[in-house]
């Protein structure tokens, strides 16, 4: 637990730009909101094979916020991946279930965080609302 706390604190220190702590945390909160909005839209759309698009879109919008948004997107995406792995392994009893899905989602998240267009992952027939 100490190691995780130290790593989060160090990544915070490394992510703060010359604009200061206030703008960094503001960007982080806004980036978190962008990821939450993409997740909520994914649930509302309930469209097959749209997870990668919404992951890329949430990370893309978070990275548009700045260093704080990128930091929040990385922390949330990494936490989600590890939590999903723990659930699959210990709760559902499946060691390798969903690894392909997790890997493709990770690539989509990195695509979005790099500033590339998330529509690359948009499935055919998804409503224009999203």
- 32 pLDDT higher than 90: yes
**58 to each of 20, 64, 71, 76, 112, how far by Cα in Å?**
24, 10, 13, 11, 7
* Calpha distance 82→128 (Å, rounded): 32
* pLDDT one-digit tens code per residue, 9-21: 666 665 555 567 7
| Strongest mean pLDDT among 26-30, 80-84, 126-130 | 26-30
Percent of the chain with pLDDT over 70: 82
CB distance 73 to 62 below 8 Å? yes
* Calpha distance 115→60 (Å, rounded): 6
- 7 pLDDT higher than 80: no
The reported pLDDT for the residue numbered 9 is: 63
* Calpha distance 126→73 (Å, rounded): 24
* Calpha distance 56→35 (Å, rounded): 9
Q: What angle do the packed helices 51-63 and 99-113 form, to 10 degrees?
A: 30
Q: What is the pTM of this model?
A: 0.77
- 114 pLDDT higher than 60: yes
């Amino acid at each position: 637990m100490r190691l995780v706390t130290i790593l989060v604190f160090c990544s915070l220190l490394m992510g703060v730009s010359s604009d200061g702590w206030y703008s960094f945390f503001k960007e982080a909160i806004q980036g978190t909101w962008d990821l939450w909005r993409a997740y909520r839209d994914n649930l509302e759309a309930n469209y097959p094979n749209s997870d990668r698009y919404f992951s890329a879109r949430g990370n893309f919008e978070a990275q548009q916020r700045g260093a704080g948004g990128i930091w929040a997107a990385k922390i949330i995406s990494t936490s989600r991946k590890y939590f999903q792995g723990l659930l699959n392994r210990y709760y559902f009893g499946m060691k390798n279930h969903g690894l392909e899905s997790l890997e493709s989602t990770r690539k989509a998240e990195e695509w979005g965080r790099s500033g590339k267009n998330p529509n690359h992952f948009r499935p055919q027939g998804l409503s224009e609302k999203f």
